[in-house]
Each structure stands twice: as structure tokens, then as C-alpha cells.
Chain A
Amino acid sequence: MSLILFIEQMLNGVQFGVMLFLMAAGLTLIFGVMGLINLAHGSLYMVGAFAASWAAGLTGSFLLGLIAALTAAAAAGALIEVAVIRRLYARGHLDQVLATFALILILSEGTRWVFGSLPLFLEIPPYLSGPVRLPGGIQYPLYRLAIIVAGVMVAAGLFALIARTRIGIQIRAGEADREMIGALGVNIAALYTVVFALGAALAGLAGALIGAIQSVQVGMGEPVLILAFVVIVIGGIGSIKGALVGALLVGLTDTMGRFLLPVAFAQVMAPAAATAVGSALASMAIYILMALVLIFRPRGLYGVA
């Protein structure tokens, strides 16, 4: 195992983590501000990917595809919030889970109705395709580097938004005391719609960025949703900083586990058995990580007691 391979895998882990952050940030924001468990977050990821694929196919521009993804996901988010979610704030988590699970089914089959069952095509734009040579002779796909950069920019923007803007103050105040900011004259209903649309837009952006290197198909959001939940549980539900740290931890653990565990087991057993055991254990690694974090910090790394 060479150092180059090791560094390449670290980059892969960071890239995966950055992607997870885009999903987890919206999820944790919505939970933190509104106390809502939104299972349909993965569907908004799918909406973003489909919108990007549709717009990019129509115009030939990946950038317009990204804009379409942001717009469509935010619009879908706002619509869902006004039509369905708004009725759920006062209810228990079980009702929220049921209703948002129903939304998954509606959005999935609705998307199938519009676009059909076959996967759609979304391509990496030519100016971002192919590998680049990094210092040290590492060949790395340019598009994945671009994803890392985009993710870091979004993270910085999000922190600035929350720390320095008026709406950020309202979001933080909403997390701390819902009734009080209502009494102070902040339009809670509008704030909730904006936060939900913001979370949806982030999910849509993630869907569009990832859609270019994966398959754009119905149901693509659910596997990512599960990982995003692991991330926010590790990071502490409601904490954006926790989502960032948790996402990077999960991304690195998953990637390095898949890479290193089979190698490690090969030191002590036959290669075929090592591959089987290593792969099996690698797919459990992030859940073991989650369990360990919860044993020592039951509310997650940055969760508030």
C-alpha cells in the first residue's frame, strides 16, 4: 500500500463527507429550528438531481442544471412545508415520521409518473471532467475536487448566514425559544418556510452534484438519507458544526474502512476470507462509530443537553 493510494483515499473520504454535509446540514437545521423529523429530505435530493438532469438535457449547460436543482428543490420544499409540514409541528414525532414517509412515496411515484422508471442522464461538464495531477503525482478526478470546493464554500456560507445575518439570528433564536421570538414579532410561519426551503435547496444541490457521477433514478435519496441521519446523530441533532464534523467523520470512516479493513484482515487470514470479512465489517463501520459516540456522548459530539 503506497502513500499515494492512502492520500487518494483520504481525499475520497473528505469528498464523500462534504457531500453528506450538504444533506445533513438541511436535516439538522430543520430539526433544530422546528423540531421536525423530515424523512422526505432524501426525496428533495432526488428532486434536485432530476431537475438538474432535465434542465441540463434541455439547455446543455451544467450550471443551469445546478440552478434548476436549487430552484426546484427549494420550491418543492416551500410547497411541502406550506401544504403538509406546517400541520405537523404541534404533533408528536411519530406523526411526523408517518406523514413524511408518505411524502417519500408520493414524491417517488410522482417522479416516476413524470419521468418514467428508467434512470436519467446527467453528465460532468467537459471543463470539470477527467483527472488532474496533484502534487506528489496523485491522479485525482477534477470533478471530485470541485465537489470538495463547492461543499466547503457552502459550509462557510452557511456559518456566515447563521452567525452574521438577521435571518441567522432568528434561526438561532428559534432554536432556543420558539414562543419568545413569536412574541417578539418575528413571523414564525414565514421563518419556518424559509428554513425548510433552505434545507431543501441544500439537499437539491447535493443531488445535482452527485447526480453527475451517479445514476439519477427514483429512490436515489433514501440510502443517502440514512447516512445523513447517522451524521446528525453523531454530530448532535440541531448543530450545524456537529453536522460538518460528523459528515467528515462518517465519510472518512466509511471510505478508509472499505479500503483498509480487507487489507488489515489479509495480514492474519487467507485473502478471499479477508475480503469477505473486511467488506462485511466495513459496511458496519459507521454504525459502530455511531454507537461508540453515543456511548460516550449520548447527545452527539456537539449536541446540547
Chain B
Amino acid sequence: MIVRTLAMAGALSLAAAGAQAEIKVGMITTLSGGGAGLGIDVRDGFMLALEQSGRDDISVVIEDDQRKPDIAVQLSDKMIQSEKVDVLTGIIWSNLAMAVVPGAVAQGKFYLSPNAGPSALAGKGCHPNYFNVAWQNDNLHEAAGAYANDAGYKNSFILAPNYPAGVDALTGYKRFFKGALAGEVYTQLGQTDYAAEIAQIRASGADSVFFFLPGGMGISFLKQYADSGVGLPVVGPAFSFDQGILQAVGDAALGVVNTSQWSKDIDNPANVAFVASFQEKYGRLPSLYASQGFDTANLMLSALKVAEPSDADAFRAALEAADFASTRGKFAFGPNHHPIQDIYVREVIKEGDIYTNKIIGVALKDHADAYAVECKM
């Protein structure tokens, strides 16, 4: 599927055809199956930014990776070899990113990550042509640990799925949390029943619970936890509390504290305009994934103003400058091309009939990731 962005309806593609060389972007993201909500939000945020830019010389090839690494690799080969894209983006899941990114950047393409930030690509495996516009995977969990200290928690029960990003999550939390651990549990990936874990939490004598259970797993956990009457305070990263999920959790999420680099109530002109225009175009509130897609596109657009991707050194320097108005406000890249940014503490509230998040503080200021020192570019 090729989507050509046409800012002015009357312009049609005639104007673009035959003009200067088109810039081609390949977007590989998850548009079907269980994780589709994330990919759709990234895509919609990205396309919104392109549309607002008014540029009609950028074409985007969008393909669905079905959350499968092998398909993602096939798509990237196809995009690089037959579509001849200049820039790749879109991948949601870390295991897919690990399958695609090293190969793509080795072939001289630029990859801008709107979501996945595995530690392997932030440390020793960093690459001059790889930029992460979202976060390094550990960041939001580190912020949750920092928040737990501020909140005075001394004894946390922590749980995450048993896969690399789950291990990263608990590692990130423990890196910043100074208290003791009442229990540490790895659940199965895709697990939907948490009765056994909740019983352990009840018996553990913990004073707080930290969990990283993205997508449907988090919905299940929160509903069951609320119904169990355990009632200990819960902290988690934003992944279980994004705009798409909250409506399905309902009252069970109210008052839960979560950490995020973005929130719809961050008060800067770029964000206010983004939230309003996203809502107008798609009829729903944006999630953090949508903001990441939007920022990724704007970063790319800011660099394209300076240089074409064919002039790799100039284009790279323009990306490094990150001269764009981020929805997060202040935004800069560290030496490993991962963001240095504030991470906020949000609380789930109800606005009218809609469940959403409100910022209640800052967990970490100008936070960089722990792997930057290992990166030699």
C-alpha cells in the first residue's frame, strides 16, 4: 500500500510527478493481531505530521509485520531492494527491531524507531544511522523506581513477563528503587489469569506493587487486582495505561500511578496542537504511541529541510540536531542517538466518561539511558 501525502487536495499527484526526486519512507508496523492498536497509533501519528507539513514529495510505504520477526525481515528486504526507500521506521516490538534494524542500517539506510528501544541497540550495538525517538526500553521502569522512592515505598512486589523486555523492566526498576523486594515474579508472556500472582502479593507483606504487563496482559491484571481487594498502591510504566487500554480497564485503573515521557496534558504549543488535530482527524484521543509516531515524522521532516537522505552525513547531522518542536517539549539526543528527556509521573483520572492520565509530577529530569557509555560510534 502506498500512501502519498497530499496536503492540498487540488494539487493531486500530477504536481509531484516528474518534479524533484521523491523521498521514500518505509513503515513496517503491526496493523493486525493482538498488538495492532499500537501500530495503528504510531502510523496515524506519523501520517498526521506528514499531512500537516504540506510536503507532497514524500511517499510512505506502509506494511503490516503481523508482530512476526520473519515477516518484518522480509518486508524490510523488499522495501530496501525493490521499493528503494531512504528511511525506515515503524517497528513496535523489540524482538522485531532486533531482527530488522542491524541489517537495514548496515545497508546504509536510516532507521528512526518510534517505539522499540532494546538495550542491545543502545549500547554496544549502537549505529550512526539508528535513531530512537521514543525511549530506551529501561527508561520508564527506572522512572517508576525513582517514583517509588519518592512515594516512600520500602518493600515492593514486582512482576513482568518472562521475555527480554520483561527482564529489562525489572532490571530498570531495581536500578533506581532503593527499598527491599517482597517478591519478584516472572509471568508467562501472553498470560491472562493472574490469580496465582495476586494471591502471592496478598501473602507477601509488600507495601507496593510494580508491574510491567503491556497490552491485554495489563488489562487482565488490573481488573483482577482491583477485584481481589488487595488494595496496595500500584506503579507501572505507561504501557498498561495508554489511551487505548484505559477504556477497557475502567474503574480498576483509577488512581493508579504510571510513568511516561509524554502525556496529553503536557503544556506546550506543539502538544496542544497535536492533541487537538489528532482528535479532530481520527475522532479519538492520542496515545503515547501516537505522540511517538508524530515526533518521529517531525524529526525526519526537520532533517529533510536541511539535507536529503542521499547526503548521508549531512542528513545524519541534521537528525542529531533534533531541531523540531517535540510534543514532549524539551528533546535532545544523547551520544547513542537515544532521547534525553524528562519522564513524568501520571495518575489515571476520569474526565467525563473518558478515562485518561494527568501529570502529577516529574520522576526523572533530563534522563538518559544507562547504556550510552557502552556505545562507540
Contacts and interface: CB of A to CB of B under 8 A. Distances in A.
A279 B185 contact: yes
Nearest to A130: B229
Contacts, number: 125
A280 B250 CA distance: 32
Contact of A121 (B216, B220, B228, B250): B250
B279 interface: no
B192 A2 contact: no
A28 interface: no
B37 A112 contact: no
Given A120-B248, A217-B248, A223-B192, 11 more contacts: A112-B32, A118-B245, A124-B223, A139-B229, A143-B227, A213-B220, A214-B219, A215-B217, A259-B199, A271-B184, A275-B184
A262 B185 CA distance: 9
A215 B219 contact: yes
Contacts of B187: 258, 279
A141 B227 contact: yes
Most buried by B among A108, A214, A272: A214
Nearest to B200: A259
Nearest to A251: B193
Interface of A: 1-2, 4-5, 8-9, 12, 15-16, 108-109, 112, 117-121, 123-124, 129-131, 139, 141, 143-144, 210, 212-220, 223-224, 255, 258-259, 262, 271-272, 275-276, 279-280, 282-283
A214 B220 contact: yes
Interface range on chain B: under 10, 10 to 19, 20 to 34, or 35 or more? 35 or more
Interface in B245-295: 245, 247-251
A112 B186 contact: no
B196 A119 contact: no
A9 B192 contact: no
Interface in B51-76: none
B229 A131 contact: yes
A118 B33 contact: no
B186 A121 contact: no
Contacts of B37: 117-119
Contacts of B90: none
Contacts of A223: 190, 192
Interface string B185-223: 111101011011101101100000000000111011001
A61 to B, nearest CB: 16
Given A119-B244, A219-B34, A16 B193 contact: yes
Contacts of A271: 184
Given A118-B37, A121-B250, A283 B195 contact: no
A220 B199 contact: no
Given A5-B199, A220-B192, A118 B227 contact: no
Interface of B: 32-34, 36-37, 40, 162, 184-188, 190, 192-193, 195-197, 199-200, 202-203, 215-217, 219-220, 223-224, 227-229, 244-245, 247-251
B195 A119 contact: no
A197 to B, nearest CB: 26
Contacts of A255: 195-196
A219 to B, nearest CB: 4
A215 B216 contact: yes
10 contacts: A8-B199, A9-B199, A118-B244, A118-B248, A121-B250, A123-B250, A139-B229, A213-B193, A275-B184, A279-B186
Most buried by A among B33, B193, B215: B193
Contact of B195 (A4, A144, A212): A144
A179 B355 CA distance: 58
A2 B186 contact: no
B195 A12 contact: yes
